[in-house]
């Protein structure tokens, strides 16, 4: 998956304005590396399609459509929009925080690649059970995964 800044307007490749700080770029490049992508890749069936999930804070997470379809709710929303002749590719989640949506996107991408379950998801297993903050993130992640039915 890809991560884009919390800008609420559309940004195009090469549209780097002076208000982008180096830490934003570093995070973006780090996440591209974590996803194993140098740039968007075409699959054997042609161009890869992407959707954008937007956190409560406005952060955008761009994920392969096939990975997003592992969420039954997202898949139904995409199918529903296509039946009326439109294609929705941007999904705002006003109740899901950026850290939780980030982990959820990582999970969907990993599940798409490997077929692993939530119990096998390393970032969830690596949370500290004694940390209140990690407990809260784990709870919010499980609630979000349940809400999105993935």
pLDDT at position 1 is: 52
Which residues face 45 on adjacent strands?
none
CA distance 61 to 78: 17
| Low-confidence stretches of the chain (pLDDT beneath 70) | 1-46, 83-84
pLDDT at position 46 is: 64
Percent of the chain residues topping a pLDDT of 90:
47
pLDDT at position 81 is: 74
CA distance 74 to 53: 10
Q: Considering the entire predicted model, what is its pTM?
A: 0.68
pLDDT at position 85 is: 73
């Amino acid at each position: 998956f890809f991560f884009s800044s919390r800008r609420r307007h559309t940004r195009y490749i090469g549209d780097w304005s002076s208000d982008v700080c180096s830490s934003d770029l570093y995070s973006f490049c780090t996440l591209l590396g974590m996803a194993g992508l140098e740039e968007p890749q075409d699959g054997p069936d042609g161009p890869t399609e992407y959707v954008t999930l937007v956190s409560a804070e406005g952060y955008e997470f761009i994920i392969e459509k096939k990975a997003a379809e592992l969420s039954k709710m997202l898949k139904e929303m995409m199918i529903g929009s296509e039946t009326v002749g439109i294609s929705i590719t941007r999904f705002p989640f006003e109740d899901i925080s950026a850290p939780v949506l980030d982990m959820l996107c990582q999970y969907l991408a990993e599940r798409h690649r490997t077929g692993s379950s939530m119990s096998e998801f390393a970032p969830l297993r690596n949370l500290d059970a004694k940390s209140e903050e990690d407990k809260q993130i784990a709870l919010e992640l499980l609630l979000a995964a349940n809400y999105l039915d993935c």
